[in-house]
Amino acid sequence: MNNKNIVLIGFMGCGKSIIGNELAKNFNFNFIDTDCIIEQQTNKSIEEIFNVFGEAYFRSLEKQIYADASKMKNCVISTGGGVIKDVQNIINLKKSGLIIYLKATPKKIYNNLKFDDKRPLLRNKNKFSTICSLLNEREHLYNKYADIIFDVNDDSPFILAKNIKNAILNR
């Protein structure tokens, strides 16, 4: 994995950030959370960006962040759940490293997000059914773009990071 990145993709609430942090420690890589970078650069929360400027503007910001992140090396990159909506994001990220899909069931995602109010796409909606329909729309893209697919339903982030590291090294 020398000079490559490890790119985590997957639905909101699947654990990309927490697992990514652990994975970065395991590889002694830097950890990058693209949503956090957007918030730092704009000095606004993701919700504010959606509310004030709209989703299309958010998508243009994240596209630029993915292009920038793809130029880095030895990073674990935790992406936003919508990264797969623009194939150019994936083309850039794939050039820079390995794409790992953290696959979770709607039930697991719902459990992780049931008290969360920071995801504009799930706000003021029936959360479980929105998760199901959005995941249904996106799942084939997560599967298609992944180099490795990893089930994250059962184990702790600590164990998952160790297992993902082994899967990468034994690939």
Per the CB < 8 A criterion, the answer to whether 37 and 64 are in contact is: no
Check binding of 119 to ligand S3P (CB under 6 A). yes
- Helix axis angle, 34-42 to 55-69, nearest 10°: 110
Check binding of 97 to ligand S3P (CB under 6 A). no
Check binding of 157 to ligand S3P (CB under 6 A). no
Check binding of 82 to ligand S3P (CB under 6 A). yes
- Classify residue 10 as left (phi > 0), alpha (psi -120 to 50) or beta: left
Pairing between strand 5-9 and 97-103? parallel
Cα→Cα distances 88→83, 111, 134, 171, Å = 9, 31, 20, 25
Check binding of 69 to ligand S3P (CB under 6 A). no
Q: Residue from 45, 120, 123, 163 that binds ligand S3P (CB under 6 A)?
A: 120
Among the residue ranges 67-75, 113-121, 123-131, 154-162, the one whose residues contact ligand S3P (CB under 6 A)? 113-121
**Shortest gap between Cβ of 36 and ligand S3P (angstroms)?**
9
Binding site for ligand S3P (CB under 6 A): 12, 16, 35, 46, 80-82, 119-121
